[in-house]
Structure 1
Amino acid sequence: MSDDETPAWRNPQLTLRRFSGLDRSGPPPPATLAGAPLNPWTIPNAIGLVRACGIPIFLYLSFTSGDGTDLTAAIIFALVAWGDQLDGMAARVTGQYSRLGAMLDPILDRVLIVSGVIVCFNYDLLLRWALAILVARELFMLAVGPVAVKRGVDLKINWPGRWSVWPLMMGIGFGLIDLRTLGSIGLLLGVALSLWATALYAVDARRQLADDTGSGDASPRAPSSST
């Protein structure tokens, strides 16, 4: 192999920590990077499609329940939320990584959380002020994220962003079955982690822009999904 050749990427050894998603060391799979083919026909993407179909069913059952605490709707919400972990495990076991999956997963997580927030806010199941902060944060990321990427900022997901998803999902899930105290605890923890993640994104973006200004490099980077 010549000096300018790049060795082929290999799927890392599947340890328990990597299988569960706790170990995310190493470079991302090339198939998930910007510019790679979407490659929709994979097992993880099939799981993602089922998750996507579950969200409107959850909303329908919730808004026809009368009080937002339909048990079937809550179970569907929990299954769609857990499906995020399932499709990640499927990708790591099968090696079927794809650009579509890398884009689809964070979108589905956000849509599910926002759907749960809408139900909980409408039926006053959780603290409305905390739900409003969460929505404001999501709108901020949706508005600022694309602008930052266009300016060459690489928004890499951080650990507070990863950690925030599960307390938010659990908090909303508890709210949907009228366990409001547990739901509020999960919601507040998730909101705090989300705001922490947002602050870290801002610091990292400012550093990257300062580095680019100092080096005169204004070339855009490949965007990464963020939470």
Structure 2
Amino acid sequence: MAWEKKGAHSAKKPDLNGIVKDAVVCHLCGCSLHGSVYTNDGQAYCGENCYLKKMEFHLLESEIGAAYLAFAEALAKTLDMREHETGLHSKRVACHTMVLAKHFTDNRGILRQVYWGALLHDIGKIGISDAVLLKQGALTKNEWLEMRSHSQKGYSILSAIPSMRLAANIVLSHEERYDGTGYPHGLAGEDIPWGARIFAVIDTLDAMISDRPYRKGA
């Protein structure tokens, strides 16, 4: 995982009860920390949101980039809220996908595209009806056809932005599976775009601990 939750001893040595003797502050927002916090590389953070924000900063090269990121994250958060996702699903999988991608490349441009693609992977669900997206229980054949169209809808949205072509391909292929059983094109193995393969690993792990209505009863 990209982070670990434990006692704040990475920033200050805790006493035997696990409570920080001297107050420490979040490395990002500056709020006081006590007890259990998120830690990484010797720095302490008040929670997952601040830790994930810290990971994004290296992607930003200008105020325009920062505004672009803020808008994209607001859109992703809106999609999460519509699907009643708890926590920070889109941002979480985007940051963790980027962490995994960094084991294979240090190209900032590619990492930025991987982040965008992972963050906006479900943008096509804007075009999926609430009756299907929020249905409790198994979907009918026609409902599955509608649900499965979200990756192509998302590609249509992002591919219209010249600076997001690689990210758009990740969105298009994020539901493909290595054995060829995914959609929309049934790609297999290395025919699946590299970024989409990495994203699939992270999203699968995230799905195991998430409550996604349309999976119930499937």
The normalised TM-score by structure 1 is 0.27
The structure richer in strand per residue is 2
Task: Tell me which protein shows more helix as a share of its residues.
Answer: 1
What's the TM-score once normalised by structure 2's chain length? 0.27
Structure with more relative contact order (C-alpha pairs < 8 Å, separation 6 or more):
1
